[in-house]
């Protein structure tokens, strides 16, 4: 079934990457967020650029239709950044929308069809009340056979967590370590929705209670706090609030050019040398519920295209829509053996100073998860880290190879990219 995987027919370079602030912004629409990301991307380009050179936009967006009652989003974004009448394409693969938009952009440059390709992602989620956000996200599942069973997105990942726990002996407390680590990273990211560590969050709650004259919570540790059903309520057992990524408004933008033109725009381009994508049926139609086969296949394709293996990857941004998703991702990508992902997280291997730093941006968990923008925003972090521009969260040492892993729904879409820095 697998086609013969070849290197890209023409090299592709990332020469600019930017994102909006992630959070809840009642005063901003999708187009405001996208303009913010676009201008941040233009500002990141080291040398001169004439934006009129940009030829096409591939825009990841999951559901502006339901979130904002606005369909046909791509031409609106293209116009908002002053680039009409150039073609603009919306890509929808649920939460993998902008990871897949990036793949379309890579193919557009690699094919020789276009030279300057704008890739973006945007989602404006906070207009709706939480119950309607839950319903909107549920449209990424199978509306005929999964949703009638009562499943929500936290519910799907919670079910995967029970399968994983049963198979490998993980306990829900192990997942809390993933949340604590990603909030530590998010606290160092000024664009993150939650720029605060969980211990600081807990202290803030205590101070706020005292200030309001309420009895001060008696948490004596972060463990205490995370086990308190009032502070960290169960959403879908075994997942609690702090196991879930938030509801977020945000956008991201990237500029791709042919590798042989990269130095016109920067002396420090990042080359995208591998791209892989796969799809899967509904969760119940899979042999193994404790892993995501499409992620393994997408990674296999991206590694083969780049001519590398999992162990060559220095850092990765993975799709931690839920804490369990990060654990499973680190196994699907081949970083750790099956059943060891949670132990490696607990032991600190995925921390910034670990052997395989994962989600230095704070991940979807702390940075925020504007679903259609998350894949492109992952590339923004890799851009910063590989160019030593990540500030206080900068991973120490050289980063010659990095990876992004973006998942739609329960893994019905997975897309993986490999990034290379050449000295």
Partner 1 sequence: LNELEDIMDESQTLPFTAFAFNQLLAQKKLMVSRCRDCGSLYLPPRAVCPACRSCNLEWSPASGKGRLAAFTSIAIGPSFMNEQGFSRDNPYISGVVELEEGLKISARITGVDAKNPASIQIGLPLEVEFLEVGDKTYLAFRPME
CB 189, min distance to partner 1, A: 27
Query: If you ran DSSP here, which 8-state letter would residue 241 be given?
Result: G
- As a whole number of angstroms, the distance between CA 180 and CA 218 comes to 20
Does residue 233 belong to the site contacting partner 1 (CB under 8 A)?
Answer: yes
Nearest to 264 by CA among 70, 50, 87, 29: 50
Query: Measured from the CB of residue 243, what is the shortest distance to partner 1 in angstroms?
Result: 12
CA distance linking residue 357 with residue 317, whole number of Å: 9
Report angle CA 343, 344, 348 to the nearest 5 degrees.
Answer: 115
Residue (9 or 129) nearer to partner 1, CB: 129
Neighbouring residues of 141: CB distance < 8 A, sequence distance ≥ 6: 147, 151, 153, 156, 282, 409, 410
- The site for partner 1, by CB under 8 A, has a size of 39
Question: Do β-strands 56-60 and 117-124 pair in parallel, antiparallel, or remain unpaired?
Answer: parallel
Q: Which stretch binds partner 1 (CB under 8 A): 76-84, 92-100, 148-156, 218-226?
A: 148-156
Should residue 278 be labelled a site residue for partner 1 when binding is judged by CB under 8 A?
Answer: no
Per rule CB under 8 A, is residue 135 in the interface with partner 1?
yes
Residues 339/278, Cβ–Cβ less than 8 Å: no
Please identify, among the stretches 27-35, 258-266, 267-275, 282-290, the one whose residues bind partner 1 according to the rule CB under 8 A.
Answer: 282-290
3-state secondary structure at position 259: helix
Nearer Cβ to partner 1 (18/154)? 154
Q: Does the footprint of partner 1 cover residue 155 (CB under 8 A)?
A: yes
Using CB under 8 A as the binding rule, the residues of this chain from 104 to 133 that contact partner 1 are 130-132
Q: Which one of 183, 319, 321, 369 is the catalytic residue?
A: 369
Which x/- pattern over 286-315 shows residues binding partner 1 (rule: CB under 8 A)?
Answer: x--x--------------------------
Using only C-alpha atoms, what is the Rg of the chain?
Answer: 20
- Active site residues per annotation: 95, 369
Interface contacts to partner 1, rule CB under 8 A: 130-132, 134-135, 138, 142, 144-152, 154-156, 158-163, 166, 233-239, 282-286, 289
């Amino acid at each position: 079934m697998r086609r013969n995987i070849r290197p890209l027919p023409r090299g592709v370079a990332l020469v600019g990457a930017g994102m909006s602030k992630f959070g809840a912004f009642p005063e901003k629409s999708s187009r405001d967020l996208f303009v913010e990301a676009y201008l941040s991307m233009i500002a990141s380009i080291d040398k001169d650029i004439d934006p009129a050179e940009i030829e096409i936009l591939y825009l990841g967006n999951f559901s502006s239709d339901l979130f904002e009652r606005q369909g046909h989003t791509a031409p609106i974004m293209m116009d908002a950044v002053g680039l009409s009448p150039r073609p603009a394409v919306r890509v929808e693969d649920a939460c993998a929308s902008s990871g897949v938009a990036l793949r379309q952009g890579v193919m557009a440059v690699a094919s020789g069809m276009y030279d300057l390709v704008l890739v973006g992602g945007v989602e404006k989620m906070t207009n709706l009340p939480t119950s309607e956000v839950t319903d909107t996200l549920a449209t990424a599942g199978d509306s005929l056979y999964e949703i009638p069973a009562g499943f929500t997105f936290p519910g799907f990942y919670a079910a995967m967590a029970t399968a994983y726990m049963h198979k490998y002996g993980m306990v829900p407390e192990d997942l809390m370590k993933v949340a604590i680590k990603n909030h530590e990273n998010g606290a160092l990211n000024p664009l993150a929705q939650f720029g605060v560590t969980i211990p600081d969050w807990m202290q803030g709650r205590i101070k706020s209670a005292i200030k309001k004259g309420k009895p001060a919570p008696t948490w004596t540790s972060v463990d205490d706090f995370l086990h308190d059903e009032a502070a960290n309520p169960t959403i879908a057992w075994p997942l609690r609030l702090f196991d879930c990524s938030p509801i977020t408004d945000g956008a991201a933008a990237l500029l791709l050019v042919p590798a042989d033109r990269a130095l016109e725009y920067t002396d420090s381009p990042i080359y995208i040398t591998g791209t892989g994508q796969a799809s899967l049926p509904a969760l119940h139609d899979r042999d193994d519920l404790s892993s995501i086969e499409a992620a393994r296949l997408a990674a296999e394709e991206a590694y083969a295209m780049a001519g590398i293996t999992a162990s060559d990857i220095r850092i990765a941004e993975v799709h931690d829509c839920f804490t369990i998703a990060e654990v499973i991702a680190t196994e699907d990508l081949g970083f750790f053996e099956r059943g060891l992902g949670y132990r490696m997280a607990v032991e600190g291997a995925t921390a910034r100073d670990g052997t395989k730093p994962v989600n230095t941006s704070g991940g979807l968990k702390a940075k925020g998860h504007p679903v259609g923008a998350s894949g492109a925003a992952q590339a923004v972090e890799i851009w910063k880290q590989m160019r030593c521009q990540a500030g206080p969260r900068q991973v120490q040492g050289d980063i010659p190879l990095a990876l992004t892993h973006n998942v739609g729904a329960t893994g019905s879409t997975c897309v993986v990219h490999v990034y290379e820095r050449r000295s």
